[in-house]
């Protein structure tokens, strides 16, 4: 049996790294250049396909060089009642391409999978838009991966981007993390025993 593939931090998921940008999870970067104009920002997370309500958007004044890339505050009434084509993250500026009549998410070749996580195993501060690795907490037969022998095949982690986080209201209940992953990895996640979630640093770029 060949040696298991090594997961090398520093190389992690190019496709997944770009996925959250497609999902509208990256806020616009604007400076003080250009005329300061009132534009719409997202003040409450909105899932892809959900109708945008008045309480979901606010107004900020920013200096922008090209206002056509953003939705001006004067168009607020036209935005209310439209659907989010992609997930909208609190704090981001609203762009015209993020609005439509139906969800265009998840992107082709990717899928959303819900990972149930044992109490106390959800990282503190885990939030939409973060890149994570889903790893098995136990091997078939109930052995912890940390206790696996040198010859045991430890499954590779599944890399993805957090789409939503649900924390249990009770100390004994499981939490749930909805993750955007490559479509081919859904089965691997489903077969994991006692999955754990690890937040990836910005230096992790790909898997080899």
Higher pLDDT pick, 84 / 150: 84
Q: What is the pLDDT of residue 64?
A: 62
Q: What is the pLDDT of residue 90?
A: 85
Query: 55: helix, coil or strand?
Result: helix
pLDDT confidence bin for 73, thresholds 50/70/90: very high
For the chain, what is the mean pLDDT?
76
Q: What is the pLDDT of residue 1?
A: 46
Q: For 152-185, write each residue's pLDDT tens digit.
A: 566 789 999 998 888 776 666 788 899 999 999 9
Q: For 39-71, write each residue's pLDDT tens digit.
A: 999 999 888 889 999 999 999 988 766 667 889
- Token pair for residue 35? 């005329």
- Token pair for residue 171? 């100390």
Q: What burial letters (b/e) apply to 17-29, b meaning 16+ CB within 10 Å?
A: bebbebbbbeeee
Note if the bond before 76 is cis, omega within 30 degrees: no
Q: What is the pLDDT of residue 43?
A: 93
Q: What is the pLDDT of residue 135?
A: 92
Name the percent of the chain lying above pLDDT 70.
Answer: 67
Q: What is the pLDDT of residue 62?
A: 81
180-205 average pLDDT score: 85
Give the chain as a 3 state SS string: CCCCCCCCCCCCCHHHHHHHHHCCCCCCCCCCCCCEEEEEEECCCECCCCECCHHHEEEEEEECCCHHHCCEHHHHHHHCCCEECCCECCCCECCHHHEECCCCCCCCCEEEEEEEECCCCCCCCCCCCCEEEEEEEECCCCCEHHHCCCCCCCCCCEEEEEEEEECCCCCCCCEEEEEEEEHHHHHHHHCCEEEEEEECCCCCCCCC
Q: For 6-30, write each residue's pLDDT tens digit.
A: 444 333 333 334 434 444 433 444 4
């Amino acid at each position: 049996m060949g040696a298991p593939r090594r997961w090398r931090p520093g190389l992690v998921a190019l496709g997944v790294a770009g996925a959250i940008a497609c999902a509208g999870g990256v806020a616009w970067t604007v400076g003080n250049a250009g005329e300061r104009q009132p534009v719409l920002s997202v003040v409450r997370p909105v899932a892809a396909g959900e109708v945008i309500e008045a309480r979901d958007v606010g107004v900020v004044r920013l200096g922008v060089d090209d206002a056509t890339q953003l939705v001006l505050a004067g168009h607020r009434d036209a935005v209310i009642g439209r659907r989010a084509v992609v997930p909208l993250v609190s704090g981001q500026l609203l762009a015209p391409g993020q609005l439509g009549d139906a969800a265009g998410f998840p992107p082709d070749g990717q899928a959303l999978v819900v990972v149930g996580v044992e109490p106390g195993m959800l990282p503190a501060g885990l939030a939409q838009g973060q890149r994570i690795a889903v790893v098995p907490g136990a091997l078939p037969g109930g052995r912890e991966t940390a206790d696996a022998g040198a010859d045991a095949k430890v499954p590779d982690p599944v890399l993805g981007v957090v789409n939503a986080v649900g924390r249990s209201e009770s100390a004994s209940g499981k939490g749930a993390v909805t993750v955007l992953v490559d479509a081919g990895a859904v089965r691997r996640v489903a077969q994991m025993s006692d999955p754990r979630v690890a937040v990836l640093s910005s230096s992790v770029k790909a898997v080899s």
